[in-house]
Every structure is written in structure tokens, then in C-alpha cells.
């Protein structure tokens, strides 16, 4: 069968590659995809991810068996709803269900209603009231833009001037436009962070192994928040009991709650969690696969990915089995300056030296007119490997990352170090 993936990042490359390894899949299209994916047999289609009409037309013309939606933006613009109306199978939540990611205020109210553990919070639309609340609560405190802000709409403020500045930027200067006219101010939580993703079909929940992302730009978790600089799975220092607790107290109640709200969730539910002294609590929900978590979690899937998705789309019980042994590690190569100002169009060097054993997931790469691969985004690509231990995985992968050393790019040298 032929399948279509919507999106263009490293996550979508990993999804495409896993689909290509499925027994019944012979063609994988990615719209719009990126040039770097083409080497691994993905057919890129020049249609933008929000152009539902053109995507539907393409899916019908090619008679694709189903479509997988990667990013949040098309989900929140209702791509899945449009596909369903056209009689096509699309894997991902409806616009109504994707609101669990699209509005932090909605997510907080939802968690409160269904007693899902999360930081205490309050939502504001008026600057003056928000500022008074900040002053009453004191620091450390966390300020979040209500809407989508590409992972950058969160300020963790350790001092009051920082908190006030963040609030001003969001509410008065509309730093994230409409997304930050409303803000959620929440209690600062302490603990180890991890990502728990699950295949969800209404009240059914099939969890994946957990992963840990590295959100800050620089070593030692310093610098600004990014989309993610690297990840690994599983996370050996998070006890299995705690993960089980998160599945029972967070994932299952969330799936059930969404059904009760009339926003039945079908797709990937991503819980960004923090292991506090009082147990796991939610930092955020996403309505999709994480990036870069997917690049280290999907390779652990032992059952057939296309069959799994097809089964969920047909309301059948899927075969969901993940590898138990060893560890997958992924490290992002980013453009110098990311996540702030950076240049694109920089030549990628050393890629041809990377061992064929290493998976390369392209995020922001393209071919120039001479046929050379150049950068085309903040996160450029991710190298991923598997090993029995983290120590071994880090040794292998950092030797490969070195081959890509180039003053126009950077990567963190401590990805996975905590798990050694
Ligand atoms: P988010 O975009 O919601 O995942 O938040 C980005 C990052 O901000 C998270 O990965 C955390 O490191 C941090 N963060 C968010 N909410 C809290 C919180 N309530 N307490 C402490 N840190 C937080
Ligand atoms: N890696 C975090 C996210 O996908 O939102």
C-alpha cells in the first residue's frame, strides 16, 4: 500500500522510515518533507502541511491507504476532520481533540476537572491582574502563553524582574501574537522531566517506552528553550513504578476525560511529565509525536507500524510491542544561533563519512542547485544509534557527530550523560 505523512521535520523522517520498513507498505509520500529524506526512499510531495484541499486531492489521486499527521499546526487547523469528511483515513486527533495541545488554558481546566496531577495555576487575560498574581505568589514561577508558540512560549522565572519582563512581552507586546494574549501562570515544579507518549483510540491507551528530551540549547541545561536538542529512550533512572503510576493517573484519565468532553482523542497523546516528590505531574500535553523523542522511540517498536496504525484507524486491537533491551540515543545538529537568529544555506560537511549503522533523520536540510546538501532550518538533522548501554551509545554517537563538526553548526555534548 501507499501511505502519506504530513510534515517536514526529523520526526516525520523517522515516521516515514518506520512506515517504509512495514510489510505491506511500498510507497511513502511526505508532504512537504525535506530534500534530505529523499535518500532513504521517501517521495516528497510539494504541498504545504495546512493545505487540506490539495492534500486530500493528492491522497485520492494516489489512493493512499491512510495518512499520518506529524505536526500540531495542521492538526489544530482541522486537517484530520477534513480528511474524514472526504472519506479518507487520517491518523491524528480532530481539531476539537487537538485543543489539549492548542490551549494551555483548556488543558489546565481539563486536568483540574478530571483530577489529573499538574502544577496549580491560574489563567489571565488582563496584564494588571496577572502582575498582581505574580507578586502575590513570588518566584520561582512559570508563565506560559496559552496558544502555540513552537515550544518557546514558556518562561521559567527565577527572579521577579524576569517574571514581569516575560509577562510584559507576552501580554503587552504580544510576543507570540494571539497565542500570548491569554497566559497561564503556574507553580514551579521540581524533578526529573520525561516524555510519555501513547497510541490512543478513545478510551484505549497503548503506552510507548518513555524518553527524555533536552530542551535547553546549551550544555548543562543552560540557555534558551528549543524544540529539543537530543533525546534517548528508555530513561533508566526513572523507575518503572513511576511510569506505571503516570499511565494510570494521567494517560487513562486523560483519554477517558476527552471522551466525556465530546472530544474523543485518536492519535498520539504526548504527556510531558515531571517526577515530583508527590509523584508524576503534567507539564504539558501534546496531540502528536514528540520531536526529537520520536526519533529514539519509534525505532524501538518491534511490531509492524503500518499495521498498528491501520488497526487503530479501523477500531481494531493493535499489536503494540516495543524492544525492552538496550538504549536509543539521538543528538541534534543545529544551526549556530538557534533558537534565536541563525543563518540557513550553510553547506553540510562530513555526512558521507557517517557510518551506515547510524540513522540520519533530516529536519532542516535541502539540496542546492549544485546538488549539495545545505541547512534549511534551526534544527538541521539528528543522528541516532542503538547500543546496550548509554556509555556505549554516547561513545559511538559522539564519534560520528565529530565528523559533522563545522563552525556553522553546533550540538550539545551532554546528551544522555545523566543516564550513563
Ligand atoms: P513546555 O513548553 O510546556 O514543555 O515547557 C518548556 C519547559 O519549561 C519544560 O520542559 C520545563 O523544563 C519548563 N517548565 C514548564 N512548566 C514548568 C513548571 N510548572 N515547573 C517547572 N518547569 C516547568
Ligand atoms: N520535544 C518536545 C515536543 O515535541 O514538544
pLDDT, tens digit, 9 for 90 and up, residues 119-163: 999 999 999 999 999 999 999 999 999 998 876 788 999 999 999
Q: Whose CA is nearest to atom 2 of ligand 1?
A: 151
Of 108, 142, 220, best ligand 1 pocket probe by most atoms within 8 Å of the beta carbon: 142
Of 156, 192, 197, best ligand 1 pocket probe by most atoms within 8 Å of the beta carbon: 156
| pLDDT tens per residue across span 321-351 | 999 999 999 999 999 999 999 999 999 999 9
Q: What are phi and psi of 156, to 5 degrees?
A: -100, 105
Identify which of 144, 215, 220 has the alpha carbon closest to the alpha carbon of residue 175. 144
Gap from CA of 361 to ligand 2 centroid (Å) = 16
| pLDDT tens per residue across span 65-104 | 999 999 999 999 999 999 999 999 999 999 999 999 999 9
Reported as a pLDDT band with limits 50, 70 and 90, residue 55 is: very high
Gap from CA of 316 to ligand 2 centroid (Å) = 28
Gap from CA of 67 to ligand 1 centroid (Å) = 31
Q: Which element (helix H / strand E) includes 276?
A: strand 266-276
Yes or no: say if 109 and 151 are a contact pair by the CB < 8 Å rule: no
> How far out from the chain centre does Cα 177 lie?
22
Gap from CA of 86 to ligand 2 centroid (Å) = 30
Atom of ligand 2 nearest to the CA of 288: 4
Yes or no: say if 181 and 125 are a contact pair by the CB < 8 Å rule: yes
Among the bound ligands, name the one nearest to the CA of residue 228.
2
Gap from CA of 153 to ligand 1 centroid (Å) = 10
Yes or no: say if 140 and 161 are a contact pair by the CB < 8 Å rule: no
For residue 178, pLDDT over 90 is answered with no
Task: Name the residue with cell 514561577.
Answer: 141
| pLDDT tens per residue across span 187-246 | 999 999 999 999 999 999 999 999 999 999 999 999 988 989 999 999 999 999 999 999
Does the predicted TM-score (pTM) go above 0.75?
yes
Who lines ligand 1 at CB under 6 A?
119, 142, 151, 154, 156, 186, 188-189, 193, 215, 225, 272, 283-284
Gap from CA of 286 to ligand 2 centroid (Å) = 8
For residue 392, pLDDT over 80 is answered with yes
For residue 37, pLDDT over 80 is answered with yes
* Mean pLDDT (the chain, rounded): 96
Identify which of 300, 241, 298, 248 has the alpha carbon closest to the alpha carbon of residue 275. 241
**Is any atom of ligand 2 closer than 6 Å to the C-beta of 212?**
no
Q: What's the rounded Cα separation, in Å, for the pair 385 and 392?
A: 10
**Is any atom of ligand 2 closer than 6 Å to the C-beta of 202?**
no
Reported as a pLDDT band with limits 50, 70 and 90, residue 409 is: very high
Identify which of 204, 147, 134, 142 has the alpha carbon closest to the alpha carbon of residue 178. 147
**Is any atom of ligand 2 closer than 6 Å to the C-beta of 234?**
no
What pLDDT, on the 0 to 100 scale, is given for residue 151?
66
> 350-362 burial string, b = 16+ CB within 10 Å, else e?
ebeebeeebbbbb
Peptide bond into 234 cis (omega under 30): yes
Atom of ligand 1 nearest to the CA of 186: 19
| pLDDT tens per residue across span 251-300 | 999 999 999 999 999 999 999 999 999 999 999 999 999 999 999 999 99
Gap from CA of 271 to ligand 2 centroid (Å) = 10
Residue 126's Cβ-count burial label (10 Å; 0-12, 13-18, 19+) is exposed
Residue 288 is given by DSSP the state S
Domains of the chain: residue spans and CATH: 2-96 (3.40.50.20), 126-181 (3.30.1490.20), 190-313 (3.30.470.20), 327-419 (3.90.600.10)
Q: Which element (helix H / strand E) includes 367?
A: strand 365-367
What pLDDT, on the 0 to 100 scale, is given for residue 224?
87
Q: What is the dihedral of CA 394, 232, 147, 47, to 10 degrees?
A: 90
What pLDDT, on the 0 to 100 scale, is given for residue 180?
74
Of 196, 226, 273, 290, best ligand 2 pocket probe by most atoms within 8 Å of the beta carbon: 290
Reported as a pLDDT band with limits 50, 70 and 90, residue 174 is: confident
What pLDDT, on the 0 to 100 scale, is given for residue 252?
98
For residue 319, pLDDT over 70 is answered with yes
Q: What's the rounded Cα separation, in Å, for the pair 403 and 389?
A: 22
Residue 49 falls in which region: left (phi positive, over 0), alpha (psi -120 to 50) or beta: alpha
> How far out from the chain centre does Cα 245 lie?
22
Amino acid at each position: 500500500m501507499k501511505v502519506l505523512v504530513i510534515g517536514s521535520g526529523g520526526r516525520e523522517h523517522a515516521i516515514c522510515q518506520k512506515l517504509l520498513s512495514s510489510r505491506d507498505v511500498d510507497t511513502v509520500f511526505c508532504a512537504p518533507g525535506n530534500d534530505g529524506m529523499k535518500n532513504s526512499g521517501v517521495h516528497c510531495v510539494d504541498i504545504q502541511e495546512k493545505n487540506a484541499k490539495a492534500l486530500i486531492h493528492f491522497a485520492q489521486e494516489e489512493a493512499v491507504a491512510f495518512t499520518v499527521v506529524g505536526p500540531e499546526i495542521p492538526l489544530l487547523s482541522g486537517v484530520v476532520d477534513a480528511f474524514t469528511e472526504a472519506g479518507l483515513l487520517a491518523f491524528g486527533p480532530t481539531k476539537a481533540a487537538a485543543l489539549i495541545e492548542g490551549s494551555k488554558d483548556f488543558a489546565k481546566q481539563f486536568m483540574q476537572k478530571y483530577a489529573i496531577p499538574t502544577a496549580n495555576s491560574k489563567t489571565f487575560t488582563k496584564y494588571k491582574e496577572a502582575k498582581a498574581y505574580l507578586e502575590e505568589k513570588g518566584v520561582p514561577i512559570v508563565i506560559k502563553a496559552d496558544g502555540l508558540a513552537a515550544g518557546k512560549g514558556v518562561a521559567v522565572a527565577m527572579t521577579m524582574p524576569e517574571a514581569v519582563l516575560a509577562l510584559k512581552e507576552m501580554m503587552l507586546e504580544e510576543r507570540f501574537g494571539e497565542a500570548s494574549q491569554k497566559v497561564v501562570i503556574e507553580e514551579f515544579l521540581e524533578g526529573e522531566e520525561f516524555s510519555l507518549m501513547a497510541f490512543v483510540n478513545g478510551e484505549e491507551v497503548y503506552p510507548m517506552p518513555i524518553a527524555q528530551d533536552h530542551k535547553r540549547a546549551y550544555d548543562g541545561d543552560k540557555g534558551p528553550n528549543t524544540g529539543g536538542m537530543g533525546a534517548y529512550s528508555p530513561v533508566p533512572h526513572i523507575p518503572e513504578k513511576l511510569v506505571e503510576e503516570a499511565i494510570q493517573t494521567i494517560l487513562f484519565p486523560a483519554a477517558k476525560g476527552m471522551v466525556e468532553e465530546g472530544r474523543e482523542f485518536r492519535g498520539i497523546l504526548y504527556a510531558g511529565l515531571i517526577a515530583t516528590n508527590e509523584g508524576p505531574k503534567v507539564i504539558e500535553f501534546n496531540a502528536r509525536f514528540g520531536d526529537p523523542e520520536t526519533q529514539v522511540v519509534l525505532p524501538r517498536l518491534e511490531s509492524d507500524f503500518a499495521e498498528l496504525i491501520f488497526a487503530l484507524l479501523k477500531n481494531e486491537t493493535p499489536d503494540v510491542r516495543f524492544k525492552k533491551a538496550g538504549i536509543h540515543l539521538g543528538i541534534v545538529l543545529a544551526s549556530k544561533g538557534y533558537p534565536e537568529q541563525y543563518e540557513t544555506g550553510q553547506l553540510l560537511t562530513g555526512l558521507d563519512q557517517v557510518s551506515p549503522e547510524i540513522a540520519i533523520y533530516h529536519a532542516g536540510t535541502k539540496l542546492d542547485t549544485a546538488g549539495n546538501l545545505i541547512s534549511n532550518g534551526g534544527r538541521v538533522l539528528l543522528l541516532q544509534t542503538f547500543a546496550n548501554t548509554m556509555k556505549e551509545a554516547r561513545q559511538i554517537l559522539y564519534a560520528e557527530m565529530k565528523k559533522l563538526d563545522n563552525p556553522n553548526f553546533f550540538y550539545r555534548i551532554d546528551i544522555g550523560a545523566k543516564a550513563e
